[in-house]
Structure 1
Amino acid sequence: MSNDSLTERIRLRPLIVAAATRLAEAGVGSPMTDAEHLAAHVLGVERMRLALVPMVDDDVAARFEQLIEQRAARVPLQHLTGTASMGEIDLSVGPGVFVPRPETELLFAWALGFLETHGHAHAPIVVDLCTGSGALALAIAYARPDALVHAVELDRDALRWARRNADARIAAGDTPITLHHGDVTDPFVVSDLTARADLVVANPPYIPAAATLDPEVADHDPHRALFGGADGLDVIRAMVPTVARLLRPGGATAIEHDDTNGAGVAALLRRQGDFTDIEQHQDLAGRPRFVVATKAGR
């Protein structure tokens, strides 16, 4: 290789450091992490392997800097890479569908723990309400290929993303899930599953209408997937009877909520009268994040 060729290459780490500074100035909450994710995306390598790529070509640097400018404009990282993760799987995401958040990983882990400790003579039936991209449903199906997983979504744009992700998991050899177009507040939604579900999980629209949101959320996530009325509980309030109807006695639910509404969701489940063992759970930041409960009876 000639010296001329060598001078056309650029050191990667200073590019990433400069990009992180640019993102921090733009108000991005995790500037170095995002800069590294975008560098890895452009290079087609895992983030942890960036150290093995000390130099990059001009065209790679240009593509990276273009993505950094978009991220500085507060376009979500996941829209730029085209993927988000849940559990052990990656999902395709983009305009028209809610981007799964790391906080939901804790609800997912609880759901797997429940299925593990409550063995069944039959294949467990799991229902994911407000599935969005299919994140929870597909992650559970991947971790528990013995489960019969159903996912319900009202928004047709989101449902298209869920179908795309479900098809990708089938192509990868995973157990298929069953997708339903339906309203989780409809008293008769997926009526054929009444009193059959072992587990119902939900990450519904739950943000109070007056909440102030980061641009990544306010400008890019579908508002239909975000807001739950004035107090953030409109969808959950109407959904709780559906959860109670779907669960068999001894089955359980886990419902994600706004960090102001842990007590409110617990009260709704208690008022329904069908639930025991109602517990509030916090996220990694110590904020109320999801409530679990068991359907009464055996």
Structure 2
Amino acid sequence: MKKVLWGALLLLLAAGIGYSLIPREPLPDFSAYAYRDTRRMLTLVHRAAALIEEKGDQAFEDFTADEDKWTLDNAYLYVYALDGTNLYHGGYPDLVGRNLYGFTDLWGKKAMQMIYRETENPNNPFGWVHYIWNAPGSLHPLWKSSCNLRAVMPNGKVVVVGSGLDDSRAEVEFFRILVDDAVALVDSRGKAALPILKSPASHYTILDNRVFVMNLDGSCLIYPGMDITVDASLFDYKDFTGSTPLLELKNRLEDADRATVGMLCQQHAGEHPAKMSIYGRLAQMEGQTVVVGAISPLPQPAWMN
């Protein structure tokens, strides 16, 4: 009997689901996310939202009374009213009662306002927002990737519950959301979208990356990683294998409105070349067809981490 119980426990841990969390089923589909830490945090937020919808304010007392159940090694819960007032904070309890609607990070991102907007974005079902934050007990600012859900309390009050990973590994899905949102912006606002996409304070800059925009001849409207105009074709770029991934992306987009290509490049000096993914889509900018895309890391084998 003990072997059966231990086997069941190991299966739960292998699935990335904390066995101590209150079971709230069914869970949404998290298969788009490669990393266990991401899936565990999504599970935590989903179940916290379910408890808030069941118990209302009482859920905050449950979070505090059973912190081991409602925190992960590198993530804690927070809850905000829609006016920006903090109702519960597992990392900074002193924030409870304070209004953070106008909070601005070091890059100028209005994090709370982005959270409220993204929890209503159908292209971003888990309300992902990326901003700079200090982990509790640290003076070093880090990128924080947070997922956020709206929950309706029994009294009808709507709140946002979320959690974030500090210095998290980039999920390919983060960049899919980024590019799809950028395409919608270009389609609707034309050239006026370009300064928004380039701004470090925008939703379109995450984890030291941002979207790029290029013409069908390879000339660049927004260069990947640099806010300057470069008189060169992106089609000429070659990766470690000698491939021309941006030219390949453009060729694939001749038969589809979206495509993904791989490339091998060195992210930092002295590191092994790493597999990267370029996700791109076609957009219409005032009658001109352009390519909107982003470059994201792919999950690496453990020996390369």
Give TM-score scaled by structure 1 length. Answer: 0.29
Q: What is the TM-score when the length of structure 2 is the normalising length? A: 0.28
Relative to total residues, which structure has the larger helix share, 1 or 2? 1
* Structure holding more strand per residue: 2
